[in-house]
Amino acid sequence: MNRLQPTDSRAGLISGLSAYLMWGLFPIYFVATKAVPAPEILAHRILWSLPFGLLILLFRRQIGDTIKAIRKPRTLALLALASISLAANWGVYIYAIQIEQIFQGSLGYYINPLIYVLVAVLFFGERLTRLQGLAIALACIGVLVLTIYGGQFPVISLFLAVSFTIYGVLRKLIDVGAMPGLFIEVLVLIVPAVLYLGWLWQTDTLVFGTDQTLSWLMVAAGPITVLPLLAFAFAARRIRLSTLGILQFIGPTMQFLCGLYFGEPFTTAHAVCFTLIWVGVVLFALDGWRASRLPSVQ
């Protein structure tokens, strides 16, 4: 079994932390671009990620690695699947912010780490500790409370959690660098994105160009999209899947605070659901701290 070097683990931890901090501020961007329909924002995220990603590849001299990855059928197929899961996640999250469901988006990314742990147990041979099991049980109860008492089955939350878990697992299975892999994913999505924007232009419904501020915000979607994904992909290949899942609690916490800031209704059912999940977060943190205190087995 290959073991991560301490420097790799440290770099992966810093990268994962950076990714989730950036993602935590995403609601601010999507509220600022609320005048643009969600599908158009999604298309712009894909379009402007391509040149920005290319600049990073050139700077890091990874064009050769990208070409090698494209020539491997298995790698290309897995990256294509990952790109579909990623685009679906992007689109639904943008839609959630636009219909004032920031809390549902936050809840989805709170649930996501729990699904990561389940996947780690079922497919990667990691063991589920008692505290992790209790945290997952509390999250399930929280979702049931929101569904039954609050009358709102969190479809958006569950979709975001599952789709991003699929993306994370696929990226962990692919033997390709963070940026080359991300660039190929964008290449897979670029054709439908350009075709859609072209159709909007033909039907005079393209928002891009009608307002200078919004247009610049659309261009900014490139670096805003690529930087956290690059950090995430870098981290996914250097730290344990369960550790990556624990880090993700940073993002939804910041998103939750954004929901409060923007005045989204926060019901009693929301309070009970989030409280149960926050308790689960504490249990996860406690479990991770306890595990870090144990001597490593050689």
pLDDT at residue 43 in the model: 95
Name the average pLDDT for the chain: 85
As a dihedral over the C-alpha atoms of residue 110, residue 168, residue 55, residue 94, rounded to 10 degrees, the angle is -40
Res 8: pLDDT: 59
pLDDT at 1: 42
- Whether the CA torsion 209, 215, 216, 220 is positive or negative: it is negative
- Report which of residues 128 and 222 the model is more confident about: 222
What's the predicted TM-score (pTM) here? 0.82
Report the alpha-carbon distance of residue 153 to residue 161 in Å, rounded.
Answer: 14
- Round to whole Å and give the CA distance between 262 and 221: 21
Whether residue 4 has pLDDT greater than 60:
no
Mean of pLDDT values over 138-166: 85
Tally the C-alpha atoms within 13 A of residue 249's C-alpha that lie toward its C-beta. Answer: 17
Q: What is the pLDDT confidence band of residue 23, given thresholds at 50, 70 and 90?
A: confident
pLDDT of residue 245: 61
- What was the pLDDT predicted at 66? 93
- How many percent of the chain have pLDDT more than 70? 92
Better pLDDT: 290 or 108: 108
pLDDT of 294 over the 80 cut: no
Average pLDDT for residues 179-193, to the nearest whole number? Answer: 92
